[in-house]
Amino acid sequence: MRKDLETRNNALYSKLVPSMGNAGTMEGEILRAINKIVYRYYNDGDKYFEGYGCETAGPCHAFLVDDTPIGNSLKVIFGVAELSLNSELYEQALDLALEKVLDFIESKDGKYEVSDVDMFNSESHFEEEEEEDLCWDCDEPINWCECE
């Protein structure tokens, strides 16, 4: 994360996001959601659209693109992230998304929308693919294996 974004983010986060539960404002919940996506990537390698990230960060992504006033802009940015085949492009997309969120919140000039919305009530657009069990002897999927 770029240092300038981190500074702006930290100031707003401490103001708008409580230590537990939803934020109580739309802007706080938007900030909480993008921070969850960023945290899961930088701490656990989770991407909201693949693997375990579908579960951990997927609902946050769905909330941001489906249920927020900046959802359409974020869809475009996240679309780049989904197409990225390397971490650098994904990280750049996260920075752009965070910057869009911060610009939106700062434009409100402290006039935040009171809301009981919770980012975790959104359903991920992506599902974690289940891995097939492979045969120990031939490395073929168990249901295709002819070893036994």
- Over residues 62-116, the pLDDT tens digits come to 999 999 999 999 999 999 888 877 888 999 999 999 999 999 999 999 999 999 9
* pLDDT reading at 132 higher than 70: no
Model-level pTM? 0.85
- State the virtual CA torsion across 17, 20, 22, 24 in degrees, nearest 10: -60
Q: Residue 25: beta bridge partners?
A: 114
Q: Return the structure tokens found at 67.
A: 């249920």
Q: What is the pLDDT of residues 19-40, one digit of tens each?
A: 999 999 999 999 999 999 999 9
Exposed e or buried b per residue across 45-74, where buried means at least 16 C-beta atoms within 10 angstroms of its C-beta: ebbbbeeebbebbbbbbbbbbebbebeebb
Q: Where are the domains of the chain?
A: 3-121
CB neighbours of 92 closer than 8 A, spacing ≥ 6? 80
